[in-house]
Amino acid sequence: MAPGGWQTKVPAITATFWVIKVLSTTIGETVADYLAVSVGLGPAVTDAIMLALLVTALVVQFRTRRYTPWIYWLCVVLVSIVGTQITDFFTDILGVPLHLSTAVFAVLLAAVFAIWYRQERTLAIASINTPRREGFYWAAILTTFALGTAAGDFATEALNLGFRNGTLLFGGLILATWIAFRLGAGQVLTFWIAYVLTRPLGASLGDLLTQDKDLGGLALGASVTSLLFLAAILVLVVREQLLVGRHGVAEKNAGPSGGRGQDHAWAGVCALAVVVAGFGLSLVQGSSPGTEPQADAAQTTATGASASAPVAQLVHPTTRLGNLSKFAAIVSDVQDKVTSNDLAGAKTRVKDLEVAWDNAEAGLKPRDATRWHEVDDRIDAALTVLRAAHPTQTACASAVADLMKTLNTFDGV
């Protein structure tokens, strides 16, 4: 026990630890997107809420005197959200290229480690048993999430990986890191490399479950995926909490409470249950009566005057981004409402476009990042004028027309 009554404040590095870490990464991303887009709070309000919750959770974490699973993992989930939001702020708001933000966060992480080592002469996870060391620990955790987000997005875009290949790539890199550890590589180094890599792995897994089937996903949606992952996290965290209550806080490097065999079994069963449930729900949804193919579903998204317009004529169906007709149908509907001066209706309808476009980002963006950004910029412009305090029909009509023109200029090459 450290001076002042502090015990080790972080969990043993076990299979349960890594499973919860990957699942919490996905939860963090989907919750932030849900609040910002689906609920309609917007990035600024969502960022403020998540930052306030993180500060509150960390205050509780620092006030505890020993490892408390539910508090610790709540902090990890919130750090996951805020770390992702930091990268998104630099990329989407400030326009910082991903390769630059990746380099900046890598330098920041190196600086955190350098200062941490200079002050404490150790970076060992087993030594997180004083307030100052825990402060360095959480600073490093936050930076790894920001770095993992930037590096993962950069790799996905630069290499056109997509979330399926991304899952294989980042999973393979983590496996290689584990092999390196088993062959004698430093424990501290391999731990932090794996910790960074779990961020893009978790995001890729989440996208694999949430993305539409025409984009290569399982089409479970963010809500179902979040509930699946949250259920698995709760099972593992509750078990951890019970073990801590029964056996006390385990000594670092002494193995998990309850034994490694039980730890591996619980972690493996929960991970397998998420995979099986995901594929099972996907098959059930795909075979449910009344399920429409994507192309037909796109036709039904437009209403009013746009319903009579052939969606196939709105956008080339074989662009490098894929079939964008379902987005064009919504834009056509918004355009009709603006033409009839129903700006309130257009503002409501454009929300559907925002949600659909953001939900499809992980599947579309890797196919052609440049053209994705072209459409994304036009969508943002339309959202801005339609949501202005005093929108005008002329400005709204111009922004929506520019958006439709951008969709129609794709030539499919």
Phi, psi of 322 (to 5 degrees): 105, -165
Q: 341 phi and psi, to 5 degrees?
A: 65, 25
* Measured distance CA(250)–CA(99) in Å, rounded: 41
Distance CA 3, CA 353 (A): 56
Say what the pLDDT of residue 255 is: 60
- Residue 322 DSSP label: B
The whole-number pLDDT of residue 130 equals: 86
Angstrom distance (rounded) from CA 156 to CA 391 = 37
49-57: list long-range contacts, CB under 8 Å, 24+ apart: 50/78, 50/81, 50/82, 50/85, 51/82, 53/78, 54/78, 54/79, 54/81, 54/82
Which pLDDT belongs to residue 92?
75
Under a CB-based contact definition with an 8 Å cutoff, are residues 18 and 247 in contact?
A: no
Cα separation values, 158 from 104, 154, 155, 361, Å: 18, 6, 5, 15
Q: Which residues contact 400 (CB under 8 A, 6 or more apart)?
A: 331, 334, 335, 338, 346, 382, 386
The pLDDT, as a whole number, for residue 302 is 38
Residue with tokens 């129609």: 408
* Residue 346 near residue 396 (C-beta atoms within 8 A): yes
Tokens 């950004």 identify what position? 373
Cα–Cα distances in Å, from 412 out to 80, 259, 315, 361? 37, 57, 10, 19
User: Quick count: other Cβ atoms within 10 Å of Cβ 149?
Assistant: 30
C-beta of residue 285 within 8 angstroms of C-beta of residue 377: no
On the 0-12 / 13-18 / 19+ scale of CB atoms within 10 A, 48 is: exposed
pTM for the predicted model, two decimal places:
0.77
Query: pLDDT per position in the chain (413 positions), as tens?
Result: 444 444 577 888 889 999 999 988 887 767 777 777 777 777 788 889 999 999 999 999 999 888 899 999 999 999 988 988 888 888 877 888 888 999 999 999 999 999 999 999 888 877 787 889 999 999 999 999 988 888 888 877 667 777 788 888 899 999 999 999 999 998 889 999 999 999 888 888 877 887 777 777 777 877 788 888 888 999 999 998 888 877 666 555 556 666 778 888 888 888 888 878 877 877 776 655 444 433 333 333 434 444 344 443 444 444 577 778 888 899 999 999 999 999 999 998 998 888 888 778 777 877 787 888 889 899 999 999 999 999 999 999 999 999 998 887 754 44
CA 9 to CA 31: how far, in whole Å? 26
Distance in Å from the first CA to the final CA of the chain? 65
